[in-house]
Amino acid sequence: MLCYLDESGDEQALRTPTDPPVLVIAGIVVDHQQLRGLVYDFLQLKKKFYPALSESGIQLSELITYEIKGRDLRKNIRSGGRNRRRAVFSLIADTLSILEQHNAKIVGEIHVKGDEPLRRWIYAEIVAGIAGQFEAQLRAAQTIGTMILDARTKAKNVPAVHRLTTQRFKSGGNPYPRLVESPVFGHSDAHVALQIADIVASALLFPMACYAYSQCLLDNVHLNEQYGELRERFATKMRLLEHRYTSANGAHAGGIVVRDHLNNQSTLHLYCERPFDHERRDARRVLPPAIDVAP
């Protein structure tokens, strides 16, 4: 099995109206025997929505490297016209249908930013948490697997997997015996499955989480009523695609996990129809950081 992960948002504190209010690290898990069909179907989907890619002279390499970026889809949902928004919703629906057809599952973790900055090593912690969920999936399927993360920079890549590498080789046992290697890094223009992971993380979970958990922020550019329509359309399908399992202590585990540092709401709120109740908590305005003035 293969687990492809991408991120949307960042670890930085909320300081200005343009800062993303959530950090999403999420993606897909697919059996290696299903990967070729999954990629082929997604390439055909690209041609369906971008007719220029269907021209007879186009090379396969061009079709692969042409990326449908989640942030662009999000922008079209937020500020595009009705027809453009409808096209995006149709593309997302078809992408989820492809995942369902090839028995792929979605995994991930979302952190909703609050008053305090996220922890310094939050990215590595999230990757380790998803690796634990992936390990449970591998154990249930009695197979082995590897994780492919969308590459950032070396300074960011190494800390993201160092924690996992240390855990795999520490004395006392390996908590991830079915991972054949620590997570490796790829580029989305070379790995089509990473492009799908980007759509899941950036075009679906990021706007859904912004709408569900951050409505009490004022003047943040990432809040938009159209994200509510996105959530209403795809929440049920997303839940059905989650990988859920029962942990060793009998608790329900897996799927998309939300850590709400703003209002302490549950993961299930990601899929609820109603946004955050403003009467429960005063709305907040994100202000730029104070500037120290020398006396």
pTM over 0.75? The answer is yes
Give tens-digit pLDDT for 162-188: 888 888 888 778 899 999 999 999 999
282, pLDDT greater than 70: no
Residue 141 placed within a domain: yes
Considering the domain boundaries, does residue 293 fall inside one?
Answer: no
Percent of the chain surpassing pLDDT 90: 62
Residue 56's pLDDT is 65
Per-residue pLDDT tens digits for 211-234: 999 988 888 889 989 999 999 999
Q: Are 28 and 10 in contact (CB under 8 A)?
A: no
Q: Tell me: pLDDT of 246 over 80.
A: no
Residue whose tokens read 């049920």: 236
In-domain check, residue 187: yes
**Distance from first CA to last CA of the chain, Å, rounded?**
61
Residue 35 lies in a domain: yes
Tokens 């922008």 belong to 75
Position 58 scores a pLDDT of 81
Per the CB < 8 A criterion, the answer to whether 103 and 248 are in contact is no
Q: Is the pLDDT of residue 291 over 60?
A: no
For residue 12, give every residue at least 6 positions away whose Cβ sits within 8 Å of its Cβ, in sequence order, or none: 19, 117
Q: Which helix (H) or strand (E) holds 107?
A: strand 105-112
Q: Give the tens place of pLDDT for each residue, 120-149.
A: 889 999 999 999 999 999 999 999 999 999
Strand segments (E) across 202-267? 217-218, 244-246, 252-254, 256-260
Q: Are 220 and 185 in contact (CB under 8 A)?
A: no
Flag whether 286 is in a domain: no
Per residue in 70-110, pLDDT (tens digit) is 999 999 998 878 889 999 999 999 999 999 999 999 999 99
Tokens 């909320």, residue located: 14
Q: Residue 204, Cβ neighbours under 10 Å: how many?
A: 28
Distance (Å, whole) CA 37 – CA 43:
10
Structure tokens at 245: 């399992």
The mean pLDDT value for 35-59 works out to 88
Asked if residue 284 is part of any domain, the answer here is no
Range of the domain at 91: 2-277
Does the pLDDT value for residue 40 go beyond 50? yes
Dig out the tokens for 181 from the structure: 């290697």
Number of domains, the chain? 1
| 12 in any annotated domain | yes
**HSE-up (13 A, CA, CB side) for residue 271:** 14
- Asked if residue 288 belongs to a domain, the reply is no
Can you give the pLDDT at residue 292? 38
